[in-house]
Amino acid sequence: MIERLVSGGQTGADRAALDVAILHGFAHGGWCPKGRLALDGVLGGQYQLRETPSAGYLQRTEWNVRDTDAMVVFTFAATVTGGSLKTLAFAREHRKPCLHLPLRQVRNYEDPALQLQRFVGLHRVRALNVAGSLEAKEPGLYLAVAKVLHEAFFWCETPRA
C-alpha cells in the first residue's frame, strides 16, 4: 500500500498532494527547484521537499519520476500538456507506470479514486508521484485532486491535528 506522496510543490495537483499528506499526517516529499520556487512564490518549510541543483523545473520533474514507483497525472482536459507531458515522457524513459486521470472526462461509473486505488494496488506502489496541471491553467484542479486523493487513501481517517 502507498507509504508516501511525492510532488514538486507546484500550484494545482502537486500542491494538493502535499497538503493532503500534511492534513493526514502522512509521509510526503519530493524534489523542488533550487530556491524552492513555485509560480506563487517560495515554497514554505512545511513541505518536506529537497532542492535540486537547478532552478529550472525539468530536473525536479525527472528526479521525482526517477525516485518514485509510479506517477498519477491529474488534469481536467483529456490531453496532457506542459510539465505534465514531460512527466509522462520521463515515466516512459524510466520505465515507470503512469496513470492519467482527466477528471472532467471521467464518466460517472469510472470513479477516479477507485481507478487510482486499483492502479496503486496493481503496481504495488509505495511512493506515488502526483503531478498535473497548474491551478492557473485549470482552476479548481487543486480541490478536485485533493478530493480524489482523500477518497482514494484517507476516506476512513480523521485528519490529525
Total structural domains in the chain?
1
Q: Which of 123, 19, 15 is nearest to 68 (CA)?
A: 123
Query: Does any domain span residue 98?
Result: yes
Cα-flanking dihedrals φ and ψ of residue 144, to 5°? -65, -45
Q: How far apart are the first and last CA of the chain?
A: 23
Helix, strand, or coil (residue 108)? coil
Domain holding 50: CATH number? 3.40.50.450
Cell of 89: 515522457
Q: Does position 116 have pLDDT exceeding 50, yes or no?
A: yes
Q: Name which of 1-5, 26-30, 155-159 the model is least confident about.
A: 155-159
Q: How far apart are CA 159 and CA 161, in angstroms?
A: 7
Query: Does any domain span residue 160?
Result: no
Helix, strand, or coil (residue 75)? strand
pLDDT digits (tens, 9 = 90+) for 61-94: 999 999 999 999 999 999 999 999 999 999 999 9
Q: Name which of 45-59, 78-92, 106-120, 140-154 the model is least confident about.
A: 106-120
Confidence (pLDDT) at 161 = 47
Confidence (pLDDT) at 155 = 81
Q: How far apart are CA 113 and CA 46, in angstroms?
A: 26
Confidence of residue 28 (pLDDT cuts 50, 70, 90): very high
Confidence (pLDDT) at 110 = 78
Confidence (pLDDT) at 104 = 85
Whether the Cβ atoms of residue 53 and residue 24 lie closer than 8 Å to each other? no
Query: Does any domain span residue 161?
Result: no
Confidence (pLDDT) at 144 = 97
Confidence (pLDDT) at 32 = 97
Domain range for 46 is 4-154
Give this prediction's pTM: 0.93
